[in-house]
Structure 1
Amino acid sequence: MSEEIKAAEGKEESFEELLNQSFKTLDTGEKVTGIVTAITPTEVQVDVGAKQAAYIKFSELSDDPNAKPEDIVKVGDEIETYIVRVNDVEGYAELSKKRLDAVKVWENIETAVEEKTVLEGTVTEENKGGIVVSVKGVRVFVPASQSGQPRGADLSAMVKQKVQLRVTEVNRARRRVVGSIRAVTDEARRAAQEEVWANIEEGKRYSGTVKSMTSYGVFVDIGGVDGMVHISELSWSRIKTPAEVCKVGDPMEVYVISFDAEKRKISLGVKDHSVNPWQVFMDKYAVGDVATVRIVKLMSFGAFAEVVPGVDGLIHISQIADRRIEKPEDVLSENQTVDVKITAIDEEKQKISLSIRALLTPAVEETDEPAEIEE
């Protein structure tokens, strides 16, 4: 063999060695980044710059069994994976994106505990003493006391809801993660409260929600802060209980009547005071007109009836029937609707006299009329 041939063979061997040295060495358990070269019916092929052909089984691509490979990766994408197994004899390497994603999620969750990061997940089930939230495939247990729901609430209603939470405890060895939804909602509520108190002023309007009810009014949430609407401010009509006009959970447009930032109290109104009920009445009715009214209160001397919302008139006991009666409730009952004739209007005192009898007996003696509109 000539020296020239030997030299050429030596160069070829040297080139092959250099080429082999240029390939990455793949070791099981390591991370490796490659380029997607093909997507076949069973796997995703990846060029990782090694001698071995590398691929990812579809089952190792995502923890979502319904996910389609083409929705996760495309040819030409750079992808970071975890080396599951290397077979040098047959010249291939098995990779897993799913396992690397899981490792990253655990790392992110541990970091979230340190940095108190807010994470998002979906409630997957109600568990003994709480609920389970899936955060990127990791099960996070949220105790009932940290669910953000009232004590005794039906937690199964939260299943499939998206929630935000803070991770409070992580035990990676036992694969146990505990979180709190309440920590996030409480913080958001505090921020909203500060926002309300920083910008509140008399007359300001809010779109609120009825939070709770009492016999004397309702409490309305106006964005993390509850204000009180007294029963007298709920309606121009005379009502006995707030339940006549609203219920818990109802939206309610309100405005600020007054507030005490020090005591953290807010008085709210609903009635539109730009509307004058008396003027509405005067524009609509005159003495001699017939009106359909609602009985709102029975007294010993007669009955008060709502003519228009916010304006009541008195039907004196002598004007309730075409016969003598002992008491108004012998003929009338509260909330009953009756037709009456308007017999007198005192504009100065804003008082109205009404009569049912006038419609029953056309000729009513003037002496039967009450001398004064009583209260």
Structure 2
Amino acid sequence: MEEKNTMMDFLDEIEKSMERIYKGDLLKGTVISVNEETVLVNINYISDGIIRREGMTEDFEYREGDVIPVIVLDPHDAEGNVVLTHREAEELDGWEDLEEAFKSKKRLLAKVTAAVKGGVSATYRNVSCFIPASLLSYRYVEDLSAFAGKTLEVVVEDFDREKKRVVLSRKAVESAERDQQKKQLMKELQAGEMRQGVVTKLMKFGAFVDLGGAEGLIHLDDLAWHRVNDPSEVVSEGDQVTVYVANIEHKTGKISLVLKNVDEDPWKGVADYYKVGDYVEAKVVRLLDFGAFVEVEEGVEGLVHISEISSDRVRKPSDVLKVGDAVQAVILKVDEENKKMSLSIKEAEGQVHDDVELVTEESSATLGDLFGDKFKDFFKK
């Protein structure tokens, strides 16, 4: 019985090989051998087919045993060969794949060939496609040429075979992946922990950091303990940073981050060091309609209300002060918990004499030095 089946199979193969093939036929063939000039293909015909260089698909990796689509260019050339083209057959199959992917939203792999006006050109199975700059990534892409030669996973955004127009989107794939990453990250993320991230965007009010699926914001005040006027003073886009997770709003998906070292808070111990009535040297760092902010030491600022700037009437702080001015002031109030200090410049006017010791950073480098000296005096007694 087995011999009979083998004989029948053999006869079927012979019968198939005797079927005529014609120019333009679309066939499936198995690669037999490959060299730089030709690819030999078994097309289940009385003779094998040959694909010459001009019929090969550019950048296609031909491997023995692979099944590929081919179109018959000449069923019997002058040398008796069946001449095939893979390039055109690959394109026909490519159009079929793209149409199916457009309907089903299936993902495909396309290779970017070059940067063009408004985006990049790409190919999928020898079909020319276009990826607009706005669909190349979920982030703004400044250098389109950086994508040339890359193979991207994409979806078909628009398809019109008659007009030979195919628009692809990498952004849709990235956005879907980031949505999944964000859901997982939001489950794991906890306030109070440290995370690694990449600075993605700088704004006037702070810096956005990608934590790997979700972005958090470092507010301007949380970039450093000293005053920061622009985030570019501290970080740049693309910087790798370690941040402290300050707050997570699960309903809105907002994440608040801190870059400055929370363990090095300059306000710690301020109430022990600075007392109401102390005279201090400070630097004007910001002027507003209601007063002037002055820096007492790095990271510690206080407000001189407009009514405390001078004994004379002051209409605007900028009439008598400018940013960078060194001033002498008297401390009126210290609120260490809320990181607030109130000072008066007018109270210090004409009252600072040589015998009055100003509390400055130079007068005592650290709180440890200050209390250390007191302990030394104590033990001498």
Task: Sort the Cα spacing of 1:140 and 1:265 in 2 relative to 1 into closer, same or farther, 3 A.
Answer: same
| Residue 27 of structure 1: aligned partner | 21
Write the distance in 2 (CA, Å) between the matches of 1:185 and 1:18: 50
Pair 1:266 & 2:261 matched: no
Matches within 5 A, 1:4-23: 21=15, 23=17
Q: How many residues align?
A: 317
Pair 1:96 & 2:85 matched: yes
User: How big is the alpha-carbon RMSD for the aligned residues of Structure 1 and Structure 2?
Assistant: 5.4
TM-score (norm: length of structure 2): 0.60
Letter in 2 for 1:179: L
More displaced stretch, 242-251 vs 258-267:
242-251
| Residue 356 of structure 1: aligned partner | none
| Residue 44 of structure 1: aligned partner | 39
> CA deviation digits over 1:304-323, x for unaligned, max 9?
6565x43579xxxxxxxxxx
| Residue 170 of structure 1: aligned partner | 159
> CA deviation digits over 1:135-190, x for unaligned, max 9?
23211133455444789x76754651634321133333443222233322332332
> What secondary structure does 1:274 align onto?
helix
Write the distance in 1 (CA, Å) between the matches of 2:229 and 2:157: 48
Write the distance in 1 (CA, Å) between the matches of 2:250 and 2:293: 43
Letter in 1 for 2:256: S
Matches within 5 A, 1:202-351: 202-206=191-195, 207-215=197-205, 217-277=206-266, 307=297, 309-310=298-299
Which of the pair has more CA radius of gyration? 1
Q: Offset at 1:31?
A: 1.2
| Residue 148 of structure 2: aligned partner | 160
Task: Sort the Cα spacing of 1:97 and 1:210 in 2 relative to 1 into closer, same or farther, 3 A.
Answer: closer
Q: 1:199 aligns with which of 188, 191, 197?
A: 188
> CA deviation digits over 1:283-331, x for unaligned, max 9?
xxxxxxxxxx987579xxx996565x43579xxxxxxxxxxxxxxx9xx
Write the distance in 2 (CA, Å) between the matches of 1:21 and 1:230: 78
| Residue 57 of structure 2: aligned partner | 62
Letter in 1 for 2:19: T
> CA deviation digits over 1:200-238, x for unaligned, max 9?
3211333142524234x4443434544333333221223
Letter in 1 for 2:55: E
Letter in 1 for 2:179: R
| Residue 134 of structure 1: aligned partner | 123
Contact between 2:133 and 2:144, CA under 8 Å: does it hold in 1? no
Task: Sort the Cα spacing of 1:186 and 1:268 in 2 relative to 1 into closer, same or farther, 3 A.
Answer: same
> What secondary structure does 1:168 align onto?
strand
Write the distance in 2 (CA, Å) between the matches of 1:19 and 1:247: 68
> What secondary structure does 2:148 align onto?
coil
Write the distance in 2 (CA, Å) between the matches of 1:305 and 1:113: 61
> What secondary structure does 1:237 align onto?
coil
Write the distance in 1 (CA, Å) between the matches of 2:96 and 2:164: 12
Letter in 1 for 2:54: S
Write the distance in 1 (CA, Å) between the matches of 2:44 and 2:50: 12
Task: Sort the Cα spacing of 1:273 and 1:147 in 2 relative to 1 into closer, same or farther, 3 A.
Answer: closer
Unaligned runs of at least 5 residues, structure 2: 1-10, 271-281, 303-317, 327-334, 342-352, 360-381
Task: Sort the Cα spacing of 1:251 and 1:280 in 2 relative to 1 into closer, same or farther, 3 A.
Answer: farther
Write the distance in 1 (CA, Å) between the matches of 2:136 and 2:198: 23
Unaligned runs of at least 5 residues, structure 1: 1-16, 282-292, 314-328, 338-347, 352-362, 371-375
> What secondary structure does 2:228 align onto?
coil
Contact between 2:200 and 2:238, CA under 8 Å: does it hold in 1? yes
Letter in 2 for 1:160: A
Write the distance in 2 (CA, Å) between the matches of 1:145 and 1:277: 45
Q: Offset at 1:104?
A: 2.6
Write the distance in 1 (CA, Å) between the matches of 2:13 and 2:255: 79
Write the distance in 1 (CA, Å) between the matches of 2:13 and 2:130: 52
Write the distance in 2 (CA, Å) between the matches of 1:133 and 1:235: 44
> CA deviation digits over 1:5-41, x for unaligned, max 9?
xxxxxxxxxxxx99975744341314143452574x7
Letter in 1 for 2:148: K
Q: Offset at 1:57?
A: 1.0
TM-score (norm: length of structure 1): 0.61
> CA deviation digits over 1:244-268, x for unaligned, max 9?
3234554432222122222433322
